[in-house]
Amino acid sequence: MAHQAGSAAGLERLMEEYGTGLLRLCALQLGDAALAEDAAQETLLRAWRRYGTFRGEAAERTWITAIALNVCRDLLRSPWHTHRMELSALADYVYGHVFVRYTMKQWGQTPEEIDPNTTARVPVFLSEDCRYFQDAYQGMPLEGYTPMFQSLLDHPDITVELGVDAASRLTLDGSAALLDGRPFSGPIIYTGAADELVGCKYGRLPYRTLDFRFETHPVDFWQSHGTVNYTVDQDYTRITEFKYLTGQELPGQTTIMKEYSRAYTGAKGEIPYYAIINAGNNALYAKYRAEADRYPNFHLLGRLAEYKYYNMDAIAARALELCDDLLK
């Protein structure tokens, strides 16, 4: 068969004729689909580049199979592959011992039942950096969050009313958003739970809640790092020791907080913390979203109103984005 060595047409023919078979052969040799794809591609490229050396003593298929077996053997022997196998064994260990058990405790479900975006919130990485986040710039407000928010809210155009349930002032009556019983046409940004605003009429959106238990101990430090997660041996999911985060210097005493995760029931005083994101719950949320979308001046914003997980930087960015939209 005519072969234009080094030409795109020649490579195309080899791919068409041998691509699928090579992929199968390499997968059998390597036991890894992604690696098999690389090996099949490398085989085709080698065959194409060396076509001039093919003397036709064996069938073309036999010659290409021999190249594939060599490619697979080289891959299996390479230090890169050995390293990869070690990492893969480590990943399996971390997944089985950390992810599965921690996830079950935190979410009351197996990882398979949970949206991958949720489990991806706890990334696994090998690093000398002991910080939880990988962002280039990380810090705390100089005086802490309370003074920062006090300064933000200290503006003549801002009124703060605490302890007021939005539902006691706000009604969505089917045609207009009412504030204190009267139609209100200005922008309304709602950060509460989307289901609670309309009396959970389609059923409650499921959440996990947390019990926080504080303990003070007569030692300089209780643990080695700011936050330590517990996967198996304790009922709590993690312990946070705030001294590490604030840099506070207080010899001989430290306060820690243990977090216990459980299902949110909607009981008075309970706070919904983590949305349990999966296809069924997203579909339920879509019904509440559709209710809110009927009012053009009504905007759902935040982890509760949008039924999703936000880190603080992400929700700050989302809030600024919504403000930009409203100011246009």
Ligand X SMILES: Cc1cc2nc3c(=O)[nH]c(=O)nc-3n(C[C@H](O)[C@H](O)[C@H](O)COP(=O)(O)OP(=O)(O)OC[C@H]3O[C@@H](n4cnc5c(N)ncnc54)[C@H](O)[C@@H]3O)c2cc1C
Quick one: 49 or 262, whose CB is closer to ligand X?
262
- Which conformational region is residue 264 in: left (phi greater than 0), alpha (psi within -120 to 50 degrees), or beta? beta
Residue whose token pair is 């260990």: 93
Quick one: 98 or 315, whose CB is closer to ligand X?
315
Q: Does 27 bind ligand X (CB under 6 A)?
A: no
Q: Are 177 and 170 in contact (CB under 8 A)?
A: yes
Q: Does 211 bind ligand X (CB under 6 A)?
A: no
Q: Does 273 bind ligand X (CB under 6 A)?
A: yes
Helix axes 60-77, 33-49, angle to 10 degrees: 130
Q: Does 192 bind ligand X (CB under 6 A)?
A: yes
Burial class (CB in 10 A: 0-12, 13-18, 19+), 287: middle
Which range, of 26-34, 174-182, 275-283, 309-317, touches ligand X by CB under 6 A?
309-317
Residue from 41, 65, 109, 191 touching ligand X (CB under 6 A): that is: 191
Q: Nearest distance from residue 270's CB to ligand X, in Å? A: 12
Helix (H) or strand (E) holding 161: none
Q: Nearest distance from residue 170's CB to ligand X, in Å? A: 8
Q: How far apart (Å, rounded) are the C-alpha atoms in residues 302 and 193? A: 9
Q: Does 281 bind ligand X (CB under 6 A)?
A: no
Say which DSSP state 88 is in.
H
Quick one: 44 or 193, whose CB is closer to ligand X?
193
For 223, residues 6+ apart whose C-beta sits below 8 A from its C-beta are 239, 241, 256
Residue from 20, 88, 151, 311 touching ligand X (CB under 6 A): that is: 311
Site of interaction with ligand X (CB under 6 A): 165-167, 191-193, 196, 210, 273, 302-304, 310-313, 315
